[in-house]
Chains A and B, each alone.
Chain A
Amino acid sequence: GENVEQHPSTLSVQEGDSAVIKCTYSDSASNYFPWYKQELGKRPQLIIDIRSNVGEKKDQRIAVTLNKTAKHFSLHITETQPEDSAVYFCAAMGRGSGGSNYKLTFGKGTLLTVNP
């Protein structure tokens, strides 16, 4: 099955700096790669996603890049702010036991701390 590795597990940056979180996946059939932000005690919230037919997507201070050949994708946050502090999860939608792509496999998460 799909395996998603996420690095780093913790990341501390100064306000205004950029933050980069990287993920790799194993199933070449995976076709959808969302990123979720989870604040303490709250649900994961989708912040950006990318599909396998696109190499890069940007939404204001957040961007995601996908390299299908190398099977890795990254989250880039520019001009970080204290409210960006949270746990970030990458995920890949790959083949489940039923053979179709409906199973989302998550990375272990990155705790991002933005210091004022």
Chain B
Amino acid sequence: KAGVTQTPRYLIKTRGQQVTLSCSPISGHRSVSWYQQTPGQGLQFLFEYFSETQRNKGNFPGRFSGRQFSNSRSEMNVSTLELGDSALYLCASSRDSSGNTIYFGEGSWLTVV
């Protein structure tokens, strides 16, 4: 069974640009969540989607947004990129209810210059 797939794996953007990251969950998983990982802040929750609805949101500015499609695939978007947005963005999927095991994708390494 294929794992969580994220694209692109690596990208470099310029300050002020916007970026879209994509995530395909494990087949049968309907919950997709996004995390930002940086050396200083560790793993921080961005948001979680289930059945195309955002169920939970972390403490990130409105420049960070996401969505989920009917096939459970998800995208996250960061607009007006700042240098501090450079990070590893991890997508994770799980079945549907609280307490289900969460599996991470390989992540998308974003560098903002």
Q: Count the B residues whose beta carbon is within 8 Å of the partner chain — how many?
A: 24
Which residues in B have their C-beta under 8 angstroms from that of A89? 42-43
Q: Which residue of B lies closest to A101 (CB)?
A: B98
Which residues in A have their C-beta under 8 angstroms from that of B92? 104
Contact of B99 among A31, A46, A96, A108 (CB under 8 A): A31
**A residues near B, CB below 8 A?**
31-32, 34, 36, 42-46, 49, 51, 89, 91, 93, 96-98, 100-109
Considering the complex, which residues of chain B in the window 52-108 have a beta carbon less than 8 Å from any beta carbon of chain A? 55-58, 90, 92, 98-99, 101-107
Q: Report the separation of the CA atoms of residues A91 and B105 in the bound assembly, to the nearest whole angstrom.
A: 17
B22 close to chain A: CB less than 8 A? no
Q: Report the separation of the CA atoms of residues A107 and B99 in the bound assembly, to the nearest whole angstrom.
A: 17
Contact of A101 among B57, B90, B99, B106 (CB under 8 A): B99
Which residues in A have their C-beta under 8 angstroms from that of B35? 104, 106
Known: A102-B31, A102-B33, A107-B42. A93 touches B99 (CB 8 A): yes
Q: Is the CB of B107 within 8 A of A43?
A: yes
Q: Is the CB of B55 within 8 A of A96?
A: yes
Q: Is the CB of A108 within 8 A of B98?
A: no
Which residues in A have their C-beta under 8 angstroms from that of B55? 96, 98, 100, 102
Q: Is the CB of A45 within 8 A of B99?
A: no
Known: A32-B99, A89-B43. A45 touches B48 (CB 8 A): no
Q: Report the separation of the CA atoms of residues A80 and B90 in the bound assembly, to the nearest whole angstrom.
A: 28
Known: A43-B90, A97-B56, A98-B55. A104 touches B102 (CB 8 A): yes
5 A-B pairs, CB-CB below 8 angstroms?
A: A32-B99, A46-B102, A104-B92, A106-B42, A107-B42
CB distance from B26 to the nearest CB of A (A): 13
